[in-house]
Amino acid sequence: MSENKFSPFELIESFGHEQVVFCSNKELGLKAIIGIHNTTLGPALGGTRMWNYASDEEALIDVLRLSRGMTYKAAVAGLNLGGGKAVIIGDSRTQKTEGLFRAFGRYVEGLSGRYITAEDVGTSIKDMEYIMMETRHVTGIPIEVGGSGDPSPVTAYGTYVGIKACVNEVYGNDSLKGKKVIIQGAGGNVGKHLCKYLHEDGAVLFVNDIYEDKLKKLVTDFKAKVLNDEEVYTTDADVFSPAALGGIINDDTIPKFKVKIIAGAANNQLGEEEKHGKMLKDKGILYAPDYVINAGGLINVYNELEGYNRERALKQTAGIYDILKSIINISKKDNVPTEVASRKIAENRMEAVSQAKRIRIYRDKRLFNQRNM
């Protein structure tokens, strides 16, 4: 990138996006960017984030980064979806209006299904309802209006089966009986459901959260032991399962870990993907890439697009077990971090599907020529 000069096209090219849409409506205060990274596998799906970015450049970089991440997430999960995301620039506490979201909805509608939106940080179901007044291309909506509802229980289920896949790799069998599992953010939407699955399977729970009242219930229901903010990284256990913050695997925490497995739902766990993925591998800690193990929520909304069925969504989410096993096998075979192995699976799948589509176009043309002979 040229020094000190903000060049949107150079940025977009460096992330490899197909299309980026800038949405502006001065009267309604709308400034938004929709990033469509890659639609090889299907329509680009990803939530709309509302955030008070310090600059337009920061907003663009965020939407490019997040939408590219969605491409990889959908590809590894085996879904026929591409990667997309949108950002609305503004303060989500003070700048939300019906007009703003309806104007944004019209931009989504204008993309004719190439981009499908959903809730994200800073947006709510209420905002999605306004967007839905202008477009059908919205997912992750409440059960009452025909949607799939809160995805957290499905995300938690996917995380649970992902933990079992990792335990199988390290201990030679799937049993969680007596296994010590640390859950950070245990009182949250994903954390509390995950605790239930783990407890029912015989795991011993160590929990941490910033809200004591949320922890009390886990102590009563699951005999969990509470850890403070330091102990969550230093306690000797089998599994560390982050379900709160991003960036918690870093130069500071990696030397402290006394676990064999890190497998949790939190987004963007690695401070720096390549560096910290490699540091975990060198330390002998098996890391389940976050966007693979937490794909249950995306699988859930994908099912909503096809007419929601909870059984089918859970069955598909159970597939995270085999996906993680394949990633671990490639990681061992190629001697690379699991993060690198999962990117390889995603890229191979996109390459194969794009190759298959090329063949289809050729055959269609041949038929056309024959008919016109």
Q: Applying CB under 6 A, which residues contact ligand NAD? A: 151-152, 155, 184-185, 187-191, 208-211, 214, 243-245, 265-267, 294, 297
CB of 257 to ligand NAD, least distance (A): 16
CB of 185 to ligand NAD, least distance (A): 3
CB of 255 to ligand NAD, least distance (A): 20
The 3-state DSSP class for residue 240 equals: strand
Round to whole Å and give the CA distance between 72 and 350: 9
Considering the complex, state which of residue 100 and residue 190 has its C-beta at the smaller distance from ligand NAD: 190
Considering the complex, state which of residue 70 and residue 111 has its C-beta at the smaller distance from ligand NAD: 70
Token pair of 89 as six digits:
């620039």
The Cα-based distances of 213 to 207, 209, 227 in angstroms read 12, 9, 14
Residue pair 41/80 in contact by the 8 Å Cβ criterion? yes
Residue pair 51/13 in contact by the 8 Å Cβ criterion? no
Round to whole Å and give the CA distance between 177 and 200: 9
Q: Please say whether the dihedral angle defined by the alpha carbons of residues 43, 49, 55 and 58, taken in this order, is positive or negative.
A: negative
Please pick, among 5, 26, 31, 85, the residue that the annotation labels catalytic.
Answer: 85
Considering the complex, state which of residue 243 and residue 262 has its C-beta at the smaller distance from ligand NAD: 243
Q: Which residues pair with 239 in a beta bridge?
A: 181, 261
Helices 189-200 + 212-222 axis angle, to 10: 10
CB of 298 to ligand NAD, least distance (A): 7
Identify the residue whose tokens are 């002998």.
284
Token pair of 122 as six digits:
């800073």
CB of 360 to ligand NAD, least distance (A): 33
Give the residue from 158, 178, 170 showing the smallest Cα distance to 338. 170
85 flagged as catalytic:
yes
Considering the complex, state which of residue 167 and residue 266 has its C-beta at the smaller distance from ligand NAD: 266
Considering the complex, state which of residue 43 and residue 264 has its C-beta at the smaller distance from ligand NAD: 264
Residue pair 296/158 in contact by the 8 Å Cβ criterion? yes
Q: Which residue is nearest to ligand NAD (CB)?
A: 188
Give catalytic residue positions. 85
